[in-house]
Amino acid sequence: MTSLVKGLDDGEVNSSGDFFAARMRVQQNFFGRTVIMELLKKRVLDLKEGYRQNVALFGNRYIGKTTILQHFLANLDEEITVLYIDVENKDFRFFLDQFVGTLLHHYSFSRKLPLYEDVALLLESVQESIPHTVSVIRKIYKDYHAKKLSTSFHGLLALPEIFTNETGRVCVLVLDEFHRLEEVTVPGAFAYLGKKIMTQKKCLYVVTSSSPQQAQKILSEKLSLLFGNFEMIPVDPLDPQTSREFIEETLQGIRIKEPLRDFLVDFTGGYPLYLQLVCKELAGLSVLHDQDEIFIPVLTQAIENTIFNRWGLISRHFELMVQELAAGKGNQIIPALLMCLANDKHKADDLCAELGFKRNQVAGKINRLREEGVIFKNGNFYYFRDKLLKYWIKYIFQPRLKNVGIGPEQHRELFQQEFQSCIENFKVTSTKDLPLRVMELLYCFDNEAFDLNGRKYKLPLFREILPWKISNEQGQSLNVIKALTNEDVWLIAVKGENVSEAEVSALLEESRKDAPKPRRHLIISLKTLDENTRLKALQERCWIWNEEEINTLLTLFNKPYISR
């Protein structure tokens, strides 16, 4: 899918020269992602020592996968040769030129040879140093011009091994949005890629995809022999604390009070691109108005400029994305489907009823949105992980389509009122204590099953939810929620800090007093339990939810994040 802002978020590289020219910009813009960076560095060290573990990065669009790659590649030892290929929305010639260009450019850079943008000049420059590699490349181009695309493609994939044998240098080959490989190269590309990966032990393969569903299907079916050879790394939004630090860093001394800062974290969903663009707009407006602190009017203006205005970077990107999704025969239903999803119609039957279409007509469009990484499925819920996209569809795109009798200025005024109401609602919600917020979440359950952190949970419809307090042997109180269905009782311990072993014992002791005995014990703690407490809770068959599980449910039910 094309993007107006590709390059601002993920630092798109259009030629071999762009990659190296981007090094300084990447160093300046990169933030967080420590765990992923350390893992990638370890994989390179392993490669040097003769052990190769390929890596697959999966995550939503504009989550920062390519920025991670660029920062990683920009800091590699110069003796490691990098081949970076952006597969999305390209053709075979682009793939060929970028594959060869990055290989030769990186080699020339490391050897202090002249750097050219033109592949022909690069070939002449390195002819004496790597004659066999140059000979193979010339054959690859000859096959391409003779329309022998499969032969040319096979030659390309063999190139890293040929180059390594001639130079002794190991390679890192990056395929960005690799699930589109067959669209831009040749049929059967994945089958041949799999064979080469198996034999090229001195080449580390790093692939990325914004469509986890498609990518995992390719790895498990077309590259089935390699499925265990790829380390699967999810790339998630920045966590709330890192997002706060990102905002402080980007605003460069301009103050923003905690409630507005936390609102901005939740509003953008922790997406680095959105945070960066909004913060840059805030910084510019602060200079324009000679302010050293962000207040609601300036934040409203910044959101209006970037998200409401048709030519705002984020707004324009979303609009182009919807236009592309809706293009083609039979896709006119897509905008209406997106609006239904944004209005919290999560289940297939509800979507069909709202749209007036049969289930098989809607199912194909839902699958396409999932394949494109626009929506996701958890249990029988379809939902947006991208909070800002959902907001734009509901409060900007939808009114433009439906309120045709309203002029542009009235649209703007309604948006400003809604956005400021959104801020106030967030402030009210975020000041509520943790047990109350959990109780409000429990009332949303309606006998659905959800996957939370790799485990499936059946969540019933509660008919009554009561706040409770219990005490442990030391007399310390613990907030507990008693939730009742028609058949069962749940006891739920809720704490922002660590739940102790003594508090788990107190929860179990309390349950023995109840008749009937509670069917389920649930411990909700924003901090990870220590090992002894966790083992005791698991032995007693308690469910344990941390910040990640709670925030997954809050996203599903369109509620602000909870963070420490």
pLDDT, tens digit, for every residue of 214-227?
888 888 777 765 65
The angle formed by the CA atoms of residues 553, 522 and 432, to the nearest 5 degrees, is 55
pLDDT band of 8, cuts 50, 70, 90: very low
Together in a domain, 202 and 294? no
85 inside domain: yes
Q: What integer pLDDT is reported at residue 373 of this predicted model?
A: 87
5 inside domain: no
**What's the first-to-final CA gap in the chain, in angstroms?**
36
Together in a domain, 229 and 246? no
Together in a domain, 171 and 52? yes
Q: Decide: pTM greater than 0.75.
A: yes
Sign of CA dihedral 69, 73, 76, 82: positive
Together in a domain, 158 and 45? yes
CA–CA gap between residue 559 and residue 545 (Å, rounded): 17
| Mean pLDDT confidence for 460-489 | 85
Could you tell me the residue range of the domain that residue 302 belongs to? Answer: 240-308
Q: 93: domain CATH number?
A: 3.40.50.300
pLDDT band of 149, cuts 50, 70, 90: very high
Q: What integer pLDDT is reported at residue 516 of this predicted model?
A: 67
Together in a domain, 354 and 459? no
9 inside domain: no
Together in a domain, 222 and 122? yes
pLDDT band of 201, cuts 50, 70, 90: confident
Entry field: residues in the chain = 564
CA–CA gap between residue 160 and residue 94 (Å, rounded): 18
Farthest CA pair distance, the chain: 86
Residue % of the chain over a pLDDT of 90: 61
Together in a domain, 217 and 288? no
13, 84 Cβ separation under 8 angstroms: yes
Looking at per-residue pLDDT, the higher value among 22 and 25 belongs to 25
| Mean pLDDT confidence for 433-443 | 94
Total domains, the chain = 4
Together in a domain, 245 and 229? no
563 inside domain: no
Q: Which of 379, 381, 370, 389 is nearest to 179 (CA)?
A: 370
Q: What integer pLDDT is reported at residue 212 of this predicted model?
A: 83
Q: What integer pLDDT is reported at residue 335 of this predicted model?
A: 95
Q: Which residues of 192-207 are buried (b: 16+ CB within 10 A; e: fewer)?
A: bbbebbeebebbbbbb
pLDDT tens track for 361-410: 899 999 999 988 899 999 999 999 999 999 999 999 999 988 777 888 99
pLDDT band of 29, cuts 50, 70, 90: low
Together in a domain, 449 and 527? yes
Q: Does the structure show a pLDDT above 60 at 22?
A: no
Q: 270: domain CATH number?
A: 1.10.8
Together in a domain, 352 and 471? no
Q: Which of 486, 540, 534, 466 is nearest to 509 (CA)?
A: 540
Q: What integer pLDDT is reported at residue 514 of this predicted model?
A: 65
User: Which of these three, 209, 234, 259, is where a domain ends?
Assistant: 234
145 inside domain: yes
Q: Does the structure show a pLDDT above 70 at 12?
A: no
pLDDT band of 18, cuts 50, 70, 90: very low
CA–CA gap between residue 393 and residue 400 (Å, rounded): 10
Q: What integer pLDDT is reported at residue 7 of this predicted model?
A: 37
Residues 6+ apart with CB under 8 A from 117: 15, 16, 17
Q: What integer pLDDT is reported at residue 158 of this predicted model?
A: 94
331 inside domain: yes
Q: 399: domain CATH number?
A: 1.10.10.10
User: Which of these three, 429, 460, 480, is where a domain ends?
Assistant: 429
Q: What integer pLDDT is reported at residue 519 of this predicted model?
A: 79
| Mean pLDDT confidence for 225-248 | 84
Going by the DSSP 8-state scheme, the letter that residue 221 receives in this structure is: I
Q: Give the SS3 label for residue 30.
A: coil
How confident is the prediction for the chain on average, in pLDDT?
Answer: 88
Residue % of the chain over a pLDDT of 70: 93
58, 235 Cβ separation under 8 angstroms: yes
564 inside domain: no
User: Which of these three, 289, 308, 327, is where a domain ends?
Assistant: 308
Looking at per-residue pLDDT, the higher value among 218 and 297 belongs to 297
6 inside domain: no
Together in a domain, 407 and 486? no
Together in a domain, 151 and 218? yes
Query: H or E stretch including 89?
Result: none
